Chains A and B, each alone.
Chain A
Amino acid sequence: MEFVFPNDSHIPWSIMIVLYPYITGLVAGAFVVSALYHVFNQQVFRPVAKLALVTALCFCSCATLPLLLHLHHPLRAFNIMFTPNVRSAMAGFGFIYSLYMLLLIVEVWLVFRPDIVERAKSHTGATGFLYRVLALGDREITPGARTLDEWFIRALAIAGIPAACVLHGYVGFLFGAIKANPWWSTALMPVIFLVSAVVSGIAALLVLYLVLSRWRRVVPDAECVRALTRCLWISLVLAVSLELLEMIHMAYESGAEWHVISSLLSEKLSVSYGVIQLLLGSICPFVLLLIAMQRRIRPAVANILGGTAAVLTLVQVFAMRWNVVVGGQLFSKSFRGFVEYSVPVGGREGLVAVVIVLALPLGVLWVAAKLLPLWQHEESSDTEMVSS
């Protein structure tokens, strides 16, 4: 059992293609939390609603970076919009991504418009100019304009849910529709990607909220943390169930290529799948979140448990992406042999680039937090309540 097709000796999709669905997953998940507040009026998410929306925008703005680093002809990237092939699952990317990004920008603008108009008056210099441009010359926001904005925010949030699902579900489809690869080719793939996206989005938000609260020396809202914990737990259960369902289905059917998949799991992915994705990333957070959700637990303890669980689920989702994307390329299409892959340190698709790609959205978030008041509701919650 050691025969590899000559062109399968190295994998064509490296860690950058692991990062890309990871980042869009965070976008989709974070957007869902903001939509829970804006569309379903879940007031419990109010403390993180703005953070969720801005986080989604920051990560979305960096989502194309891993793709550009991966492309062998990055300068031709726009060909995908100039001569798109409608039969290709990948061709939709340019349009779906652009529309979603546009939607996010407009929604963030509408949500923060009162603050922008406010700051356009109080700030001078370069930042003041920026705020005045963003305010489009408005000096104040009339109650009528605010009503309109609220209505549009809701409409965009509603439209954003399917858009986020399409943006991310389609990434799963991209893999699921490759009939050449038995490890990818399943209709469950888009659903699995979507649900695990929600998991990673909520987990990232929980971690960000807890870390930023500690940084700002503010006590995080206990109800909000508990609600996030509960959502995370539910979505984690759903995601892991689907992931296991797919695997058990494959094993039970034991189709022609099961022999290669079973040795893939037991040899090549034993650590990243068995230990990291299942044990460390699924079972541990499952228990931790279950404890953190209990009302008897003190908030400080719940924060630590929930935060740890959230970090672990972030690792789980990354491992899941790794196992799908890289795992699917570790066996040759001869189904008779395996391929080696280790991430290089340098280079366009190396570890340093990975760290930069992951750190960049956080950097953008830091800048965004300087420009826009993510936490304003804590100080001026009374006035906002009146206006809405």
Chain B
Amino acid sequence: MRDQAGESTDCGCSGDCADSGESLARREFLRGATTVVLGGLSLSYLSVAAADINSDGQSQDGTDGSAAQETGSPVTESPAGNPPEGDILFGFLVDTGTCIGTGKCLSACRTENDVPEGNSRTWVERYVHFKDGRLQVDLVPETGYAGSGLPLIDPDEVDRSYFVPKLCNHCEDAPCTQVCPVHASFTSPEGVELVDPNRCIGCAYCVQACPYGARFINPETSSADKCTWCYHRIMRGEKPACVEACPVDARVFGRLDDPRSEINKRLAKVPASVLKEHLGTHPKLHYLGLSGDVT
């Protein structure tokens, strides 16, 4: 640096100007870089610290934690019967590793929401990888496999197999809501993608635009229909019907805006993924243990 400065004084005005400009730019850059690095470090420290505080809160407050477990909903969520208050952002988590494929969630959803036969707001897929390399995908029957009459698979031929529950992804950048020509599809203040059945013209453009096959035209109302995360239930502080019905907690519903909610605790443990991430829809439905074969 000193050498350069000496040269520049020798060189005269024009060179000097250029050089000082250059060093100024360099200094500017260095300052910028330092800020970015320091900022990044402090941010990451902050997030680590915050995580620490959270985990501390969880571990120290043993009583609170168990109370939350007992009622099945985190403490911060309002008890059943009371509508949640304030700014809310709901989210949903599916743990494919724990689903046992009983189909309880399916009949619960159909009963709760009066979903007509032939369409589904939620379904469970079964992926069976055979030892010979074949992959078979089928749907879990709503009555469960027992007594469904489906041909049984010989477990000895199976390499690995798992269930994947599906429902509306309630995308942050929902293609269905984007394409609705009449604003009948909309995002509720709580981040739930909903359909106004009294405005829908039944063009089915949203059905085409949904990459997840979550939408359908309800033959009874002739309007677009889809999973609402049981909007009527969650706004009373209840859990969605499928979550209520799941015997193994493979489905978790809660508030993404609350770091202490069960969904955020489970999301923090293992990396979660979303379906068809490359489409940039940013789903609020997250998956744990999602296999790459799932479409």
Total A-B contacts with CB atoms under 8 angstroms apart: 115
Interchain CB contact under 8 A, A79 and B182: yes
Instruction: Return the contact of A6 from the options B119, B200, B223 (Cβ within 8 A).
Output: B119
With both beta carbons as reference points, the residue of chain B lying nearest to A9 in the complex is identified as B118
Tell me the complex Cα distance, A174–B125, Å.
Answer: 31
Interface residue A336 (Cβ < 8 Å from any Cβ of B): yes
Interface residue A112 (Cβ < 8 Å from any Cβ of B): no
Interface string of B210-229 (1 = CB under 8 A from A): 11111111000011000000
Interface residue B175 (Cβ < 8 Å from any Cβ of A): yes
Interchain CB contact under 8 A, B207 and A7: yes
In the assembled complex, the CB of B175 is this many whole angstroms from the nearest CB of chain A, namely 6
Interface string of B95-122 (1 = CB under 8 A from A): 0000000000000000000000011100
Main DSSP-derived SS at the A contact region: loop
Interface string of B239-273 (1 = CB under 8 A from A): 00000000000000000000000000000000000
Interface residue B180 (Cβ < 8 Å from any Cβ of A): yes
In the assembled complex, the CB of A196 is this many whole angstroms from the nearest CB of chain B, namely 21
Interchain CB contact under 8 A, A3 and B118: no
Tell me the complex Cα distance, A179–B123, Å.
Answer: 23
Interchain CB contact under 8 A, A13 and B208: yes
Interchain CB contact under 8 A, A336 and B295: yes
Interchain CB contact under 8 A, A12 and B217: yes
Instruction: Return the contact of B138 from the options A3, A88, A329 (Cβ within 8 A).
Output: A3
Interchain CB contact under 8 A, A333 and B181: no
Tell me the complex Cα distance, A334–B199, Å.
Answer: 29
Interchain CB contact under 8 A, B181 and A7: no
Residues of A within 8 A of B223 (CB): 72-73
Instruction: Flag the segment in A89-97, A200-208, A211-219 that touches B.
Output: A89-97
Interface string of B175-208 (1 = CB under 8 A from A): 1001111111000000000000001111111011
With both beta carbons as reference points, the residue of chain A lying nearest to B208 in the complex is identified as A178
In the assembled complex, the CB of A109 is this many whole angstroms from the nearest CB of chain B, namely 30
* A side interface size, CB within 8 A: 38
Tell me the complex Cα distance, A71–B204, Å.
Answer: 8
In the assembled complex, the CB of B104 is this many whole angstroms from the nearest CB of chain A, namely 17
Residues of A within 8 A of B207 (CB): 7, 12
Interface residue B279 (Cβ < 8 Å from any Cβ of A): yes
Residues of B within 8 A of A356 (CB): none
Instruction: Give chain A interface residues in 67-122, CB to chain B under 8 Å.
Output: 70-74, 76-77, 79-80, 82-85, 87-91, 93
With both beta carbons as reference points, the residue of chain B lying nearest to A328 in the complex is identified as B208
Interface residue A180 (Cβ < 8 Å from any Cβ of B): yes
Interchain CB contact under 8 A, B213 and A179: no
Instruction: Give chain A interface residues in 314-336, CB to chain B under 8 Å.
Output: 329, 332-336
Tell me the complex Cα distance, A89–B206, Å.
Answer: 11
Interface residue B139 (Cβ < 8 Å from any Cβ of A): yes
Interchain CB contact under 8 A, B125 and A7: no
Of the candidates B179, B209, B211, the one having the most CB atoms from chain A within 10 angstroms of its own CB is B179
Interchain CB contact under 8 A, B179 and A88: yes
Residues of A within 8 A of B119 (CB): 6-7
With both beta carbons as reference points, the residue of chain A lying nearest to B185 in the complex is identified as A85
Interface residue A181 (Cβ < 8 Å from any Cβ of B): yes
Interface residue B38 (Cβ < 8 Å from any Cβ of A): no
Residues of A within 8 A of B214 (CB): 7
Residues of A within 8 A of B182 (CB): 76, 79-80, 82-85, 91
Interchain CB contact under 8 A, B175 and A88: no
Interchain CB contact under 8 A, B201 and A88: no
Interchain CB contact under 8 A, A72 and B137: no
In the assembled complex, the CB of A45 is this many whole angstroms from the nearest CB of chain B, namely 37
Residues of B within 8 A of A73 (CB): 200-202, 222-223
With both beta carbons as reference points, the residue of chain A lying nearest to B293 in the complex is identified as A336
In the assembled complex, the CB of B110 is this many whole angstroms from the nearest CB of chain A, namely 11
With both beta carbons as reference points, the residue of chain A lying nearest to B215 in the complex is identified as A7
Interchain CB contact under 8 A, A89 and B179: yes
Tell me the complex Cα distance, A158–B205, Å.
Answer: 32
In the assembled complex, the CB of A256 is this many whole angstroms from the nearest CB of chain B, namely 8
Interchain CB contact under 8 A, B211 and A77: no
Residues of B within 8 A of A74 (CB): 201
Interchain CB contact under 8 A, B216 and A179: no
Interface residue A151 (Cβ < 8 Å from any Cβ of B): no
Instruction: Return the contact of B204 from the options A12, A76, A332 (Cβ within 8 A).
Output: A12
Tell me the complex Cα distance, A83–B186, Å.
Answer: 13
Interchain CB contact under 8 A, B211 and A334: no
Interchain CB contact under 8 A, B120 and A7: yes
Interface string of B119-131 (1 = CB under 8 A from A): 1100101000000
Residues of B within 8 A of A76 (CB): 182, 199-202
With both beta carbons as reference points, the residue of chain A lying nearest to B127 in the complex is identified as A3
Tell me the complex Cα distance, A77–B199, Å.
Answer: 10
Instruction: Return the contact of B139 from the options A6, A71, A180 (Cβ within 8 A).
Output: A6
Interface residue A129 (Cβ < 8 Å from any Cβ of B): no
- Contact A180-B175, Cβ < 8 Å, known A7-B207, A80-B181: yes
Residues of B within 8 A of A179 (CB): 175, 211, 279
Instruction: Return the contact of B201 from the options A79, A87, A181, A334 (Cβ within 8 A).
Output: A79
In the assembled complex, the CB of B107 is this many whole angstroms from the nearest CB of chain A, namely 14
- Contact A88-B222, Cβ < 8 Å, known A73-B200, A76-B201: no
Interface residues of A (CB under 8 A from B): 3, 5-9, 12-13, 70-74, 76-77, 79-80, 82-85, 87-91, 93, 174, 178-181, 329, 332-336
Interface residues of B (CB under 8 A from A): 118-120, 123, 125, 137-139, 166, 175, 178-184, 199-205, 207-217, 222-223, 279, 295
Could you pull out 9 A-B pairs where Cβ atoms are within 8 angstroms? A7-B216, A12-B204, A12-B208, A72-B222, A73-B222, A80-B181, A91-B181, A333-B213, A334-B213
Q: Kindly list 11 other residue pairs between chains A and B, CB separation below 8 angstroms, not including A72-B217, A179-B175, A332-B213.
A: A5-B212, A6-B120, A7-B213, A72-B223, A73-B202, A83-B182, A83-B199, A91-B182, A180-B211, A333-B211, A333-B212
Which 7 residue pairs of A and B lie closest in terms of their CB atoms, listed nearest first? A72-B202, A5-B213, A180-B211, A12-B204, A3-B137, A72-B222, A90-B181
